[in-house]
Amino acid sequence: MNLKNEKVAVCGAGGFIGGHLVKTLLDQGVNVVRAIDIKPLDEWYQHSEGVENLSLDLKELENCYKAAKGVTAVFQLAADMGGMGFIENNKALCMLSVLINTHMLMAARDSCVRRFFYSSSACVYNGDKQKSADVIPLKEEDAYPALPEDGYGWEKLFSERMCRHFEEDFGLQCRVARFHNVYGPLGTWTGGREKAPAAICRKVLEARMSGRHEIEIWGDGKQTRSFMYIDDCTRGTQMIMESDIHEPLNLGSDELVTNWWTSWKRSRA
């Protein structure tokens, strides 16, 4: 699929990644006809002119049909989520995002959408494979046997399977990417929904400005994560959407970084 020949809708376009994705697609000459997010337009991270920008709650099936009307490709990034602090304290709320995924798949199927992209997460991976600080980079097959992050991870893994079965049963071409800690301009940096890179930067700056020279981090600081810059995320998302790869793919860096090393480098800057 060449997206330049398609009419595209981006769900979750008022968020950090969604807003950048709309900009990237437009810059590539892709016809983004519709952008949708639950937030009021003035609360979107960014929005683009020449696009139908809609404030809709996509947990409602009727709104999903509005989002899918007249388009041939859908990017489904809409979800109620945030950083680890938010995920740990809002398990049920995170799982309710399965309504968005279910209803958008149904609307895409009934509206003759040709291809559907779903943004999954590294939180789908088996937790037993991530307990050691000496963990090796996770491979796609490491998601099974299933033991994902409680709440958010289960919702993502279930929705991945739903995409697979919508393709098998109804012929809706689905592409799935597992995002790994995306960071960059206009990202959330405070309030509990921020990801680790932005949170670390904020904490180091606050410590430096206050003179305390101490920061609070999750765990002992030796656990590893991979980080991905937003431009790489949007480019990879488009490439996966246009590809012929039917299985979920990791989208991120294979470089593993500890919180301790990130904090030390920032504090030395």
pLDDT in tens, 69-82: 999 999 999 998 76
pLDDT for 157 = 97
Alpha-carbon gap, residue 83 to 211, rounded angstroms: 26
What global pTM score does this model have? 0.85
Domain assignment present for 243: yes
Q: Helix (H) and strand (E) counts for the chain?
A: 9, 11
CB-based burial label for 22 (10 Å; 0-12, 13-18, 19+):
buried
pLDDT for 192 = 65
Write the pLDDT tens digit of every residue in 89-115. 889 999 999 999 999 999 999 999 999
pLDDT for 167 = 98
Alpha-carbon gap, residue 125 to 45, rounded angstroms: 29
Residue range(s) defining the domain that contains residue 109: 3-182+229-252
Domain assignment present for 101: yes
pLDDT for 211 = 85
pLDDT for 266 = 45
pLDDT for 181 = 84
pLDDT for 131 = 62
Domain assignment present for 23: yes
Quick one: what percent of the chain has pLDDT higher than 90? 62
Catalytic residue numbers, as ranges:
152
What total number of domains does the chain contain? 1
Closest Cα partner for 250 from 134, 161, 120, 80? 120
In this prediction, the residues of the chain whose per-residue pLDDT falls under 50 are 261-269
We report the CATH number of the domain holding residue 157 as: 3.40.50.720
pLDDT for 268 = 47
257-258 and 224-225: which strand pairing?
A: antiparallel
